[in-house]
Structure 1
Amino acid sequence: MDNGIHYRTCHLCEAMCGVAIEVKDGQIASVKGDADDPFSHGHICPKAVALQDLHNDPDRLTRPLRRTADGWEEMEWDAAFDFVAERLYQIRREYGRNAVGTYQGNPNVHNHGAMIAGLPFLRALGTQNRFSATSNDQLPHMLANLEMFGHQVLFPIPDIDHSELMICIGANPMASNGSLMSVPDFRGRLKALKARGGQLVVIDPRRTETAREADEFHFVRPGSDALLLMGMLHTLFDEDLVNLGAAEHWSRDLDLVRLACLPYAPEAVAGHTGVDPTQIRILARRLATTQRAVLYGRIGTSTQSFGGIATWLIYLLNILTGKLDATGGLMFTQPAVDLVALGALSGQRGHIGRRHSRVKGLPEFGGEYPASAMADEILTPGDGQIRAFVTIAGNPVLSSPNGTRMEQALEQLDFMVSVDYYLNETTRHADIILPPTHALERSHYDLIFNMMAVRNVAKFSEPLFQPSANARHDWQILLELAHRLERLKKGGRLGLRQELGWQAFKRLGPDALLDVALRTGPYGQPVGRLQPLLQPATDLIEAILPQRHPLRHLTRLSPLDRRWQDLPKGLSLAALREQPHGIDLGPLQPSLPDRLHTRDGKVNLAPRRYLDDLPRLYRMLMSSPEGGMQLIGRRHVRSNNSWMHNSQRLVKGKSRCTMMIHPSDADRLGIVDGHEAEVTSVAGSIVIPAEITEDVMPGVVSIPHGWGHGRAGTSQRVANAHAGASINDVIRDDQIDPVSGTSILNGQTVQIRARQSEQDRQRA
């Protein structure tokens, strides 16, 4: 790579911040914010500066590793591809296609090449035993999108740049830089909100980094958010505050919602939530009477026992106060590559419950089973038992519930392969590891997070460094494995047409497909002199063909669609290459009802799936509040799941892997600040330093997610030196939200006790 300043997008979280990376003598000299990036305007968080650490990490694998009786040994790529394809094929042939399982981790959605190549790889495997981080994260949001709007990835996004009131429940964008809300420089945008007279209200079991910046903060008991939200919904009807605005014309079943919230008066839910009923009513009134307002919820409301209902209610409260598809409220993006429209064109809007997991009968969602079912499907004998496993950029031992049981499951597999460049807590169980290039050695385009951005933008990043001749991109690894598997399934060779297709795919790569998607998207290349001829044909198609005819969808994927006539045009890969800082495509705009994909073209306010779960919520209302200590997770701006702890600059300083506990609970349990405490559940036990603070409410303990690196057999020296404890070792994998199948990561009950010091143990 030439010396000088190079511009690209940071891929380490959802915010899509622009970075300016200075290269001298082939090495990174500095990483700074790109002041000319139209989305982030020079903002970066501490993670971006660590891009160079991850790229230069001496622990990063660069060649395939195979486990032998004498330890790990390197392999050549061709031999490694043959070995993996043949073993997967053998197990598939002997035990059936579902004997192979897959897990895809969070980094895949930051990688357009892996996303594109992952599809033919999964198709070549043909297994129904597919898992990902989705069910430990955003699945309730995707389910609500599907049930209410007709498409699982049609996410409504807070229009924070124009809001006058933001109510934030169970979310911490100061630490996350937004989640399902790509928002670089949340602090700066919050300052702008306040400067125009707006306010931020935060509701959470912990006084988070975001809560410290809020104008108003309320504690809420973990897992009771659905009751709080029902109390707000009840208030809207009780005080005649329901006003759907334009949504009144394209929504249905409002009366069912009115009936559903009748039992949940604020006075009835206050005991469970810990929120004063007067405050619940005030929150509902403020949301209803502030013209540009938005209610936003995230991990705390989705990964809990009522995650499905809570997410549905958040959407409902926005809709019933006229905030959906309204400036300053919840709006929809119009990304340059419209995966919503592309999915609808191919009939892939999403689905749930088409089949159920073999052992516990958990519903699939979008073709994937809940991650909490993985260990069961590996450990339980019988037809369909997983005997081979593929992990792609994932570390479920640390990131999924009951990590200890997950380890036991991985140890008994007949074969395991990991596409990963770290020998970590999960990949150490693999028979072979296939390490891809680092992100700075490949191109980058955010297919997913442009769908969730608070402003429509597009940016393409060229590779910063050329990979070595012996390196392989992850998309090349996945395509090569898929190609060889398909050949084995066809008796060792493919037909000429199929073979030529595979060779073309591998030669062109994902960027060629990205270019096609950009050119045919809403901001794509204009048709110039042909437009006067083509536009009447397009109008005719719209006029005479049924609403759901494929040709109608095809015209809606092109710049010819009249809906996009006022959007900027000319977008292509070449155009983005000429704009290394990125292109601003404009603010979020109203787009309903055209953007809906429901059968009747209306928002479904009362999906039967949620109504059927309300008796469970009512039983909670009628019961006594649960006792015991409730466990919640937390996030830090210097961390993202488990894969950034091998950078010294990100883990240096005071340990952040602590158990936060309220002073009253610490005093009652004999917990001393800075001393070790033992946290125990049915799943297991961990030992962790205590941090006594009034930032958590009484009855709650908070432990960060993604730590627990002290396992033997890994090769991440910095991470192991700052190992911490894994919260997932005490989170049960048999507790899920039955509506969505999402893991309950917040609100499980644990036991806490002081752990004796070594001196105390010796004296005893």
Structure 2
Amino acid sequence: MPTEVVTYCRICEPLCGLIATVEDGRLVKLRPDKEHPLSLGNACPKGIAFAEVQNDPDRVLHPLRRRADGEFEQVTWEQAYDDIGARLKAVVDTHGRDSLGWYFGNPSSFSYSHTLWILAFAVGSGMRHLYSAGSQDVNNRFVASQLLYGSLTATPIPDLDRTDLLFMVGANPLVSHGSVMTAPRIKDKLRAIVDRGGRVVVVDPRRSETAKAFEHLPIRPDGDAWLLASMLQVLFAEGRTDSAAIAAQSVGVDRLRAAVARFTPERTQAFTGIAPDRLRAMARELATARRAAIYGRTGTCLGRQGTLVAFLLDALALVTGNLDREGGGVFGEEAFLGLDFAQRTGMIGYDRRRSRIGNFPDVLGSFPAAVMAKEITTPGKGRLRALFTSAGNPVLSVPNGDELEAALTELELFVSIDLYVNDTNRKADYILPATTFLERDDIPLPFGALSTTPFIQATERVVEPYGEAREEWEIIDEIAKRIGVVPFVSTPKRVGAVLSGLIRRVPGSSAATTPKVLIDVALRLGAYGDRFGLRRDGLNMTKLRANPHGIVLREHVETGVLKRVVKHKGGKVRLAPDEIIDTLASLGDRQDDPDFPLRLIGLRELKSHNSWMHNSEFLMRGNRAHTARVNPVDAEAAGIEDGKPFRIASAHGSIELPAFLTDEVGAGTIAVPHGWGHRGGWQVANAAGGVNVNLLMSTAVEDIEPLAGMAHLNGVPVRIEPVA
């Protein structure tokens, strides 16, 4: 008899409500949850198609060991654990714990237990080589927040329900559904702004799906820093700033004013492609709007100045009086004793350590994934010798995947925890089968403070794990036991003192607790928690489980909280840290390389999710193909025909794929979706073809953004040419 189970999607950040139909222990289908208070019966194609991932015949369901011939054979968990443990111990004995490394991909952020136990293992083992998808996505945002507010995770989100003007830079939420912002039904929210007389302005080199639906302000690729600095120059020069907000909220405005003085619209036009009159008008419209929200995402993160751009977005909000106010940029509050607690107790931070290659600062404990290959191949103390990956496919996501793929063969041990034999872990010694999000309990640990409507939801597992799949935290815990690591054991004493009175040791586990126990403690001690009975209407896991569709915590995000958010001494935002002033001073005049006159940008697709959902027949139907968007003017000049293969070359590599001629990209801009070009153990994905666009990108130290270690994936100089 089929049963229906309430859960929620964990593919992207809206976390839309889902109803799972289960029969005989197997998932039959997924559909949107009409009773979810925020998504209200809405879900995207990827959420519905996850049923195919759950039941995929290509999914890894048993531990696999790579043989000498390169093929995989099934082994038992004990065989895998024992051999991994012995080999890992040999690596530690020979090279020290500095030789251990971990790379975790985007899906790990959607599993509280996975994220917690990677951190627990890293802390307990003293691991230095920690890498994540963040250096290809969002680490610059964290560093900008650290410089501005003294907190890596103090991230303003746009108050969509109360704003009159939404100014978006490098974001396409009609396809991404929102990022570093949890807003189910975001299309409806954006249309509501216009319906109540407001405006949505989209700054993007491409006339994206969101830009087509609203107002589009085209910009040259990687011109964001010049645009924002120029808008600030206009506001300061014309006296259009909010002096009361600046005085109350910040320090350093005079130094920032001086630093942007040279960025007049006339001077920046060569970088932005935006006429001076249009730029001045936009700056004035921001200053005079009753309530304006400023938001930037992936397109702003992956150019050469990602941290500067994220910083200037918030600076622009503050000087126009739109930070920490209704309808502007607002700061949500974590429901858990979580990331803020981890920062205050020293478990995570910024620039506490430096990478061996490139001397890059750590961000939340992790280093740039772009240096991972060189950390493997470069001899010396601290060389990476044993690597774990989980929920990640860095060969397709970091620059120059061929370099990384070759480097992986030099490791003494490579272990992957994943759902598939993907393009990276096909080189692994072991692939250990992980559960899907439907096979574990969950709670959206990192996303509560990013929700435009404060909300919380918990879910139990929908089905028991298929085959021999295990939760990532269980696998990590078992490996830790094999080498004598106790997760969290190196936690500062004051943290240990808090935890020791609240959690129990679990028999047979190397850890002091399980994720379920730990998350209940974190919830009960969090902003909305019941304080173990001291707050009668507070939250605990029992209450959440009794409300499976979730609980709306407030109608709107609170404002007037900046003094709580800012951790700098004095409680004020710092508008002129040395790192930002120095970066502004270093911005020079535009010098195009005549050998590579065009600029390449990325492109997100509605039915793709990074590099791991191309094995769904539902998502791939309709003869989907990997193509590059090319302006007809550029195509004619290069002799390229619509639908025909052509070559894109950079200073670092070249790829060939079919052209799709369209004026949605301006002349001089090429747009290519990422995440294609599969060569793993997934049949549909392999048959889809395509190429890895990141083969055009550089891992040279000088090409990595220095403040946050961001890969340079947007605005890359290229040329195009026909192929026979």
The TM-score bracket by the shorter chain reads over 0.9
- Structure 2, unpaired ranges of 5+: 488-499
Tell whether 2:159 aligns with 1:156: no
Q: Does 1:743 align with 2:711?
A: yes
Tell me by how many angstroms 1:620 deviates.
2.9
Counterpart residue number, 1:494: none
The one-character-per-residue Cα deviations of 1:179-210 (angstroms, maximum 9, x if unpaired) are 11112211111121111111111111100011
Deviates more, 1:430-439 or 1:246-255: 246-255
Percent identity, aligned pairs only?
A: 38
Partner SS state of residue 752, structure 1: strand
> For 1:603, which of 573, 583, 586 is the aligned residue?
573
- In structure 2, what is the Cα distance between the partners aligned to 1:487 and 1:661? 52
Does residue 729 of the first structure (1) align with residue 695 of the second (2)?
yes
TM-score by length of 1: 0.89
Contact 1:120 1:482 survives alignment (8 Å) = no
Instruction: Please identify, of 268-277 and 679-688, the stretch whose mean Cα deviation from structure 2 is larger.
Output: 679-688
Give the 5 Å matches for 1:179-258. Answer: 179-214=179-214, 216-243=215-242, 245-246=244-245, 248-258=247-257
- Of residues 244-253 and 677-686 in structure 1, the stretch that sits farther from structure 2 once superposed is 244-253
Alpha-carbon separation, structure 2, partners of 1:107 and 1:451:
18
Residue in 1 that maps onto 2:650: 681
Q: TM-score, normalised by structure 2?
A: 0.93
| Distance across 2 between alignment mates of 1:652 and 1:206 | 25
- 1:544 alignment partner in structure 2: none
Shift of 1:3: 2.6
1:19, distance to aligned residue in structure 2 (A): 1.0
Question: Equivalent residue of 1:314, what SS?
Answer: helix
Alignment partner for residue 635 of structure 2, among 661, 666, 682? 666
Task: Give CA deviations for 1:415-459 in whole Å, capped at 9, x if unaligned.
Answer: 211111211110001011111122111112111122211111000
Moved more, 444-453 or 243-252: 243-252
* More off after superposition, 411-420 vs 68-77: 68-77
The residue number in structure 2 matching 1:448 is 446
Give the secondary-structure state (helix, strand or coil) at the position aligned to 1:160.
coil
The amino acid that maps onto 1:706 is G
Spell out, residue by residue over 1:364-383, the C-alpha distance to the aligned partner (whole angstroms, 9 max, x if none). Answer: 22322111111111122222
Matches within 5 A, 1:376-525: 376-467=374-465, 470-486=468-484, 503=508, 509-525=514-530
Instruction: Please tell me whether the aligned partners of residues 294 and 329 of structure 1 are also in contact (alpha carbons under 8 angstroms).
Output: yes
Q: For residue 394 of structure 2, what is the amino acid of its counterpart?
A: P
Measure, in 2, the Cα distance between the counterparts of 1:717 and 1:293: 47
Answer yes or no: is the 8 Å Cα contact 2:638–2:720 preserved in 1.
yes
Q: Distance in 1 between matches of 2:77 and 2:532?
A: 44
Offset, 1:100: 2.0
What is the CA deviation profile of residues 656-711 of structure 1, one whole-angstrom value per residue up to 9, with x for unaligned ones?
Answer: 521111000000001111000111223322111100000001111111011110x3
Determine which of 576, 579, 583 is the counterpart of 2:547: 579
Opposite residue 445 of structure 1, the aligned amino acid is I
- Compared with structure 1, are the counterparts of its residues 267 and 624 closer, same or farther at alpha carbon in structure 2 (3 Å cutoff)? farther
Q: Secondary structure at the match of 2:673?
A: coil
Cα distance between partner residues in 1 of 2:317 and 2:411: 47
Which residue in 1 is equivalent to 2:42?
43
- Structure 2 residue matching 1:503: 3-state secondary structure: coil
- Match for 1:475: what amino acid? W
Name the SS for the 1:255 alignment partner. Answer: helix
Query: Aligned partner of 1:588: which letter?
Result: V
Cα distance in 1, alignment partners of residues 73 and 279 from structure 2: 61
Conservation of the 8 A alpha-carbon contact between 1:151 and 1:349: no
User: In 2 relative to 1, CA 292–446 (structure 1 residues): closer, same or farther, beyond 3 Å?
Assistant: same
Q: For the structure 1 residues 349 and 87, does the alpha-carbon distance in structure 2 shift closer, same or farther, using more than 3 Å as the test?
A: closer
Give the secondary-structure state (helix, strand or coil) at the position aligned to 1:690: strand
1:514 maps to amino acid: I
Counterpart secondary structure, 2:78: helix
| Distance in 2 separating the partners of 1:487 and 1:117 | 12
Deviation at 1:279, TM superposition (A): 0.9
Q: Does 1:620 align with 2:589?
A: yes
User: 2:569 corresponds to which letter in structure 1?
Assistant: R
Alpha-carbon separation, structure 1, partners of 2:225 and 2:530: 46
Match of 2:11 in 1: 12
Q: Contact between 2:625 and 2:688, CA under 8 Å: does it hold in 1?
A: no
Cα gap change, 1:646 to 1:584, in 2 (>3 Å): same
Is residue 152–residue 349 contact of structure 1 (8 Å, CA) maintained in 2? no
* Cα distance in 1 for residues equivalent to 2:465 and 2:357: 44
Distance 1:624 1:240, change over 3 A: farther
Deviation by residue 1:469-520 (Cα, 9 ceiling, x = unmatched): 843211100111112221699xxxxxxx999567367696312211111112
Partner of 1:59: 58
- Could you tell me which residue of structure 2 aligns to residue 342 of structure 1? 341
Amino acid at match of 2:681: S
RMSD after superposition = 2.2
Residue 609 of structure 1: CA displacement?
0.8
Match of 1:363 in 2: 361
Please state whether the residue corresponding to 1:486 is helix, strand or coil: coil
Code of the residue aligned with 1:605 in structure 2: it is: L
Residue matched to 2:557: 588
SS at the partner of 2:209?
A: coil
1:244 & 1:429 partners in 2: Cα distance? 58
Q: Which amino acid aligns with 1:576?
A: L
Alpha-carbon distance between aligned partners in 2 of 1:152 and 1:648, rounded to the nearest angstrom: 39
Structure 1 pair 469–428 and aligned structure 2 pair: CA distance change class (3 A) = closer
Inter-partner Cα distance in structure 2 for 1:468 and 1:654:
31
Instruction: Classify the secondary structure of the residue corresponding to 1:686.
Output: strand
Q: Check conservation: 2:143, 2:707, Cα contact below 8 A.
A: no
Q: Aligned with 2:677: secondary structure? A: coil
Segment drifting more, 594-603 vs 144-153: 594-603
